[in-house]
Amino acid sequence: MATLTAADRRRLARVEYDAFLAACPSRQLLDRISDKWVTLSLTALADGPQRYSEISRRVAGVSQKMLTQTLRGLERDGLVTRTVTPMVPVRVDYELTPLGDSLLETLKPLKRWAELHMVEVDRARDTFERAAPSANG
């Protein structure tokens, strides 16, 4: 039984795919910004440095775990800086790096596209749902 099954072939393809991913900057970036909280945290820092608690207030609904995790990721990737001030109650400030800022800028056209075209998407979705009310029509 040395013949490859469909599953085997897919598995193989997946390995190649992963290897491909590792070398593809676009995919890496996408993996990064596709994280739900990443863009929100980035946006929260758009106006300048913020304390941890301030960010957690701006990014409504995030848990400490997720926020910390996200900010650490951003710090590690050189998109934000983390500054600890050893006061009695510790104070930690986060700030966009130039790199992080440039990313935020690059994200703006996308935002603009969304604002311009998401209504069309919504309309299309409506039409589609009406035409094929399979799920919950």
Partner DNA sequence: CGGCATCCTGAGAGATACTG
Partner DNA sequence: CAGTATCTCTCAGGATGCCG
Residues found near its own copies in the complex (CB under 8 A): 10, 13-18, 20, 25-26, 28-30, 32-36, 39, 60-61, 63, 75-79, 99, 102-103, 106-107, 109-111, 113-115, 117-121, 123-125, 127-129
| Contact in structure between 81 and 36 (CB atoms under 8 Å) | no
Q: Which of 16, 21, 36, 123 binds DNA (CB under 7 A)?
A: 36
The conformation of residue 63, written as its DSSP 8-state character, comes to: -
H or E stretch including 31? helix 25-33
Closest CA to 39 of 65, 58, 63: 58
Q: Which of 15, 19, 21, 68 binds DNA (CB under 7 A)?
A: 68
- How many residues form the binding site for DNA (CB under 7 A)? 26
